[in-house]
Amino acid sequence: GQQVMQIPQYQHVQEGEDFTTYCNSSTTLSNIQWYKQRPGGHPVFLIQLVKSGEVKKQKRLTFQFGEAKKNSSLHITATQTTDVGTYFCAGLKTSYDKVIFGPGTSLSVIP
Amino acid sequence: GAVVSQHPSWVICKSGTSVKIECRSLDFQATTMFWYRQFPKQSLMLMATSNEGSKATYEQGVEKDKFLINHASLTLSTLTVTSAHPEDSSFYICSARDLQLESGRDEQYFGPGTRLTVT
């Protein structure tokens, strides 16, 4: 079945450093979504990428969808302590399909 | 963003009893809701897809007679854990899908989750 993988599993960075998490799917995706879950909280939708090669920015966050629509990345510039949490990517094989979550990347930011 | 509520936020029950969890979309109609389970420090595992007015679709390995899902209206889905056992203790999260074909909008909004502890 469809699998969504993420690396790294954990990342510890010094405040101010950059951070990147990578997401890979075993199949071509219709779109990919990114979520952030703070410790003790629930997943919060960040963004959806639909087009091949698409790049979207949200302040210090840059999201990219690969040309083959099988991988994606989330890059955070100059991390802050408020960025702490687990970042999940989630892929859909078709527009009407269920969402399959990756295992997540847990980010710790050292002040 | 859209709001999804879940009730209760936490529940402790005795082994063998049943527990019902409600998921509501508060400001949009959701023809599709999803139920996930999340163990500590793990990802969300999809349990079932709930479609309004029809039977839920369960993922492989999820017992449909144990996890009863009812999507009675466009804003409410319920998950009932029947004859709960300690291994059912987990964090259950629902999400409601806001799918608008005309605009291409397709977003999921998650409820705050329900922590179930079975003693």
Percent of chain A with pLDDT over 90: 76
Q: Of B77, B92, B98, B53, which Cα lies nearest the Cα of A99?
A: B98
Residues in chain A closer than 8 A to B42 (CB atoms):
103
Q: Side-chain half-sphere of A16: how many Cα atoms within 13 Å?
A: 2
Residues in chain B closer than 8 A to A100 (CB atoms):
46
CB contact, 8 Å: A41 with chain B?
Answer: yes
- Residue pair B113/B8 in contact (Cβ under 8 Å)? The answer is no
SS3 B112: coil
pLDDT tens, per residue, chain A with 111 residues:
668 999 999 999 999 999 999 999 989 998 899 999 998 888 888 998 989 999 999 999 999 999 999 999 999 999 999 999 999 999 887 756 778 899 999 999 999
Which of A 3-22 lie inside 8 A of B, CB atoms?
A: none
pLDDT (tens digit per residue) in B83-105: 999 999 999 999 998 877 788 77
- Residue pair A5/A21 in contact (Cβ under 8 Å)? The answer is no
In angstroms, the first-to-last Cα distance of chain A is: 41
Q: What are the Cα distances from residue B90, in Å, to A41, B13, B20, B111?
A: 14, 12, 14, 15
Alpha-carbon gap: B85 to the closest alpha carbon of chain A (Å): 23
d(CA A1, CA A91): 13
d(CA B29, CA A103): 29
pLDDT (tens digit per residue) in B32-76: 999 999 988 888 999 999 888 888 999 999 999 999 999 888 899
Six-digit token string for B6: 């879940």
d(CA B10, CA B92): 10
d(CA A111, CA B22): 39
- Cβ separation of B43 and A104 shorter than 8 Å? yes
